[in-house]
A = this chain, B = another copy of it.
Amino acid sequence: MPKVIDHDERRREIVEVAKQIILKGGFEAATMRSIATEAGFANGALKHYFPGKDSIVAATFESILAEMEAAAYAPVSDDAGERLRHFLRTPLPRTEEEIASGRVVLALWEHAMSNDELADLYRGFLDRWRIAFDRYLTAAKDAGAIAVEPPYDVLIDEYTSVVIGAAVVNLMHPDGSRVAAYDRYLDGFLARLG
């Protein structure tokens, strides 16, 4: 009986390989050839799953954003204040591995500058992020867990930008020496929410 090949599963494997290559060697290290070699494919066989590097990169970006969303939106608690704190804490890198994974996002931002599809993916992510953020704040306010009144746009812009900046600053300090600074900032942000 021939082995049944799960097409989607293979695509996920290829994306995972691409992610690891970018993580270790940066964006330039991820070529069709290096991805095929790492994934154990003959060079041409990769094309059965992705027509070219751009489509692998787009799938990698989507996968990373989906992981970030799944982690941040996880239903960790019935308590609206707890869920808000989890949402805020999740995107701030803590471990060396989390810091290093910022490198993939940085490489993808860079690539998005010359690739509209990637830029659209990221804008879509930011839009969903803002909507979710507003929902978490509103739920926490309704539950009496925070005191600050809507609209929340300025707070959302601030926090979202800090998260992006934290990824970059921590990458420049891969020893984790800036991690505690962002915890102090988060404490202050929560205190301002009241």
Contacts and interface: CB of A to CB of B under 8 A. Distances in A.
Contacts of A161: 161-166, 169, 182, 185
Interface residues of A, number: 38
A36 B27 CA distance: 25
Nearest to A123: B172
Q: Is the interface of A mostly helix, strand, loop or mixed?
A: helix
Contact of A110 (B106, B162, B173, B182): B106
A189 B86 CA distance: 24
Given A119-B172, A154-B188, A161-B166, A109 B106 contact: yes
Interface of A: 25-28, 103, 106-107, 109-110, 112-114, 119, 122-123, 126, 153-154, 157-158, 160-166, 168-169, 171-173, 178, 181-182, 184-185, 188
